[in-house]
Amino acid sequence: MAMRRAAAAASSSLLSSSPKSNLFSTALLTSLLPHLSPQTPSPTSPLPRPFRIPLPPKCPLSRRIKTLPQIPTPPHPTPTLQSAATAAEVIAVIEAMESSLDEHDERLGAACFEAAERLDSIGHQDLDRALAFALRALQFFERKDGGWSVSVAKVLRLTGSIGCKMMRFNDSLESLNTAAQILDALRRENSRDDDVLKASVAVQLQLSSTKTAMGRRREALINLRKSLDLKRSILEHTSREMGAAYKDLAEAYVVVLDFDEALPLALRALEIYGEQFGEYSAEVVQIRRLLGVIYTGLGEYDEALEQNELSRRVLESLSLDEELLQVGIDAANIQIELGRLDQAISYLKWVIQKTDKESETRASVLISMAKALCNQEKFGDSRRCLEIASGILDKKELVSPTKVSEAYAEISLIYETMNDFEIALSLMKKALAILQELPQVQHLEGSISMRIGWLLLLTKRVPQSIPYLESAAEKLKDCFGPKHFGLGFVYKHLGQAYLDMDQPQSAAKVLVLAKDIIEESFGLQHEDTIDTYQCLANAYGAMGSYVLAMEVQQRVIDAWENHGPSTKDETREAHRLLEQLKKKAQGSPAAVFPANSLPLLPQN
């Protein structure tokens, strides 16, 4: 019974083996994809009708720069912005124009805007200089249009982009939200104006980029979806640009583990790319690999393998050897999920011979090999693979911090499966230390914090677990929203910790949240939902709220009974706990009711 409850508790964690409830291990699959790069807008009063009561654009960045920095004279000024290839040449052109034009000349304002765009696009290190040009352009367009124009919105988008790169995120969002308000009003006046629509797309994409950089990926999705809807009104529905837009949005949904939403978007991207590039193209392979991740996340492994095989054929025909190795690793991981361990190991042995000794690809192969060997209970061989992989990754931390942190976390999960909890904890903390320097991957930071908290809870270090779990709750709520199933499991573990610390009121508060999220995500009959109800009954019982506790305990009994004979032990225990609650309510001193439901450590 103890072993069964331990297994149930482990599976109820965010990193369980079921495809949908596995937040972190499934999130690791997103390392196959490029990471996307871009708060809830503060309420504002209704905008006045454009061109009637001018509304000065809100650009908080303008308050930070009072004057333009001194512009040094470049050694070789160039005659036009179009031909300027370096920051010095761009500055030289503006300097030359200043000497020949009146300071209120519209051409100078347009040139400042173009100069800011060029400095922003070429990655000029002096972002203050780029921002100064943008703000100067904003002053020109404000005087000309009174604050309401496409030109003003474009400059505000540019200041938002520069502000994001300067990591002044709140200022970036304020400028971008003002631009979006202006463009929304202009679209109400003329919904078919291409210039307004294109500017609106750019603003929504930058809002998505800024929010992603802040780690607010669920909010960023809203803006990315808006940009796709706007593109539909100005682009051919089967154009390459539309295909890329569907692909980008599908990838964004994968990152937040919303595979149901991602699937139709990826299939549409596949249809467009197949028409535009041909079925035997590298571009189509990108979409098929994305579909492989989505099908794996949905637990549809046969469909994932089909996409993998189609990708392999194309890559072989194109002689793209490095990509072929990655697809091979993908295939082996799917075979492991299907329990085809010998087949996976055989293929991985072939792949490893084609990798460089100190490459990240070899480390990936070794991790997959270790996973397969662990599933075969060949723990010694599995540990040796993990040790070699860790040695390779230690040398790559500065080069690929996100990939390395994900790999450390995946290695940690394998050590945890082998009950090597101290090594697992050490690796998770190592991964967390890397991610804390990268604000754009707060979703991974939150997932790893949750896992550390869970491991500390599992090993009875409850006071240490609470700060990690509280941090995880905050970050995952910001990244994924208040109803994400991952957040539900964090609340559940936090409730278990509070119970063990004799804080039943705090436990009940977070367990109610956990129950609502997990039940909505998986249904009342799912074991994770039932276990959360049991935790809540325990909390109410510990508080002395016996009527509430008995009501919740009865729901636990009903749910287990609906599972039939396979859960007779759980049903019997649930009935026993209900009887104890009744005795407690009657004041019986002999009644025993658990104050917590922490999982027991699994036995080797």
Measured between alpha carbons, how far is 447 from 443 in angstroms, rounded to an integer? 6
Which of 5-19, 104-118, 258-272, 489-503 shows the lowest mean pLDDT across its residues? 5-19
Measured between alpha carbons, how far is 336 from 370 in angstroms, rounded to an integer? 11
- 184 exposure class (CB count in 10 Å sphere: 0-12, 13-18, 19+): middle
Residue 100: what pLDDT? 65
Q: Tokens 């519209």 belong to which residue?
A: 106
Backbone angles phi, psi at 15, to 5 degrees: -110, 35
- 40 exposure class (CB count in 10 Å sphere: 0-12, 13-18, 19+): exposed
Which of 70-84, 196-210, 524-538 shows the lowest mean pLDDT across its residues? 70-84
Instruction: Report the mean per-residue pLDDT for the chain.
Output: 84
Q: Tokens 């069964």 belong to which residue?
A: 4
CA distances, 56 to each of 59, 105, 130, 204, 596 (Å): 9, 20, 21, 21, 58
Q: If residue 489 lies in a helix (H) or strand (E), which one and from where to where?
A: helix 485-500
Tokens representing 86 are 């370096």
Measured between alpha carbons, how far is 561 from 557 in angstroms, rounded to an integer? 6
Measured between alpha carbons, how far is 469 from 458 in angstroms, rounded to an integer? 13
Measured between alpha carbons, how far is 413 from 97 in angstroms, rounded to an integer? 61
What does the pLDDT look like over 131-187, one tens digit per residue?
A: 988 998 898 888 877 778 899 999 999 999 999 999 899 999 999 999 999 999 999
- The candidate with the shortest Cα–Cα distance to 291, out of 277, 279, 302, 307, is 307
Which of 96-100, 366-370, 577-581 shows the lowest mean pLDDT across its residues? 96-100
Measured between alpha carbons, how far is 575 from 172 in angstroms, rounded to an integer? 57
Report how many helices (DSSP H) and strands (DSSP E) the chain contains, helices first: 26, 0
With beta carbons less than 8 A apart as the criterion, state whether 205 and 180 touch.
no
Residue type, 547: V
Handedness of CA 466, 527, 477, 260 (dihedral sign): positive
Q: If residue 521 lies in a helix (H) or strand (E), which one and from where to where?
A: helix 504-522
Greater pLDDT, 135 or 61: 135
What does the pLDDT look like over 16-30, one tens digit per residue?
A: 333 333 333 443 433
CA distances, 421 to each of 147, 262, 456 (Å): 60, 35, 9
Q: How many CA atoms lie within 13 A of 129 on its CB side?
A: 17
Q: Residue 67: is its pLDDT beyond 50? A: no
What does the pLDDT look like over 472-504, one tens digit per residue?
A: 999 999 888 898 899 999 999 999 999 999 999
Measured between alpha carbons, how far is 173 from 438 in angstroms, rounded to an integer? 19
Residue type, 328: G
Measured between alpha carbons, how far is 123 from 142 in angstroms, rounded to an integer? 27
Measured between alpha carbons, how far is 533 from 527 in angstroms, rounded to an integer? 10
What does the pLDDT look like over 357-368, one tens digit per residue?
A: 999 999 999 999
**What are 22's strand-pairing partners?**
15
Residue type, 70: Q
Three-class SS state of 550: helix
User: For residue 346, what are the contacts with CB-CB under 8 A and spacing of at least 6?
Assistant: none
Residue 58: what pLDDT? 54
What does the pLDDT look like over 407-447, one tens digit per residue?
A: 999 999 999 999 999 999 999 999 999 998 887 788 899 99
DSSP string, 376-399: TT-HHHHHHHHHHHHHHHHTTTTT
- 72 exposure class (CB count in 10 Å sphere: 0-12, 13-18, 19+): exposed
DSSP string, 227-261: HHHHHHTTS-TTSHHHHHHHHHHHHHHHHTT-HHH
Residue 16: what pLDDT? 37
Three-class SS state of 455: helix
- The candidate with the shortest Cα–Cα distance to 143, out of 92, 182, 106, is 106
Tokens representing 500 are 């063990």
User: For residue 200, what are the contacts with CB-CB under 8 A and spacing of at least 6?
Assistant: 180, 183, 184, 187, 230
Residue 51: what pLDDT? 29
Query: What's the residue count for the chain?
Result: 604
User: For residue 205, what are the contacts with CB-CB under 8 A and spacing of at least 6?
Assistant: 38, 223, 224, 227
Residue 490: what pLDDT? 96
Handedness of CA 325, 327, 332, 336 (dihedral sign): positive
With beta carbons less than 8 A apart as the criterion, state whether 272 and 307 touch.
no
Residue 23: what pLDDT? 37
Contacts of 431-436 with CB under 8 Å at 24 or more apart are 431/405, 431/406, 432/405, 434/397, 434/401, 434/402, 434/404, 434/405, 434/408, 435/401, 435/402, 435/405
With beta carbons less than 8 A apart as the criterion, state whether 441 and 215 touch.
yes
Measured between alpha carbons, how far is 154 from 362 in angstroms, rounded to an integer? 46
Measured between alpha carbons, how far is 286 from 233 in angstroms, rounded to an integer? 26
Where are any strands of DSSP class E within 526-565?
none
Q: How confident is the model at residue 561 (pLDDT cuts 50, 70, 90)?
A: very high
With beta carbons less than 8 A apart as the criterion, state whether 22 and 14 touch.
yes
DSSP string, 435-451: HTT-GGGHHHHHHHHHH
Measured between alpha carbons, how far is 212 from 105 in angstroms, rounded to an integer? 38
Q: Residue 469: is its pLDDT beyond 80? A: yes
Could you give the percent of the chain with pLDDT greater than 90? 65
Angle at 211 between CA 209 and CA 213, to 5 degrees: 70
The pTM score is: 0.78
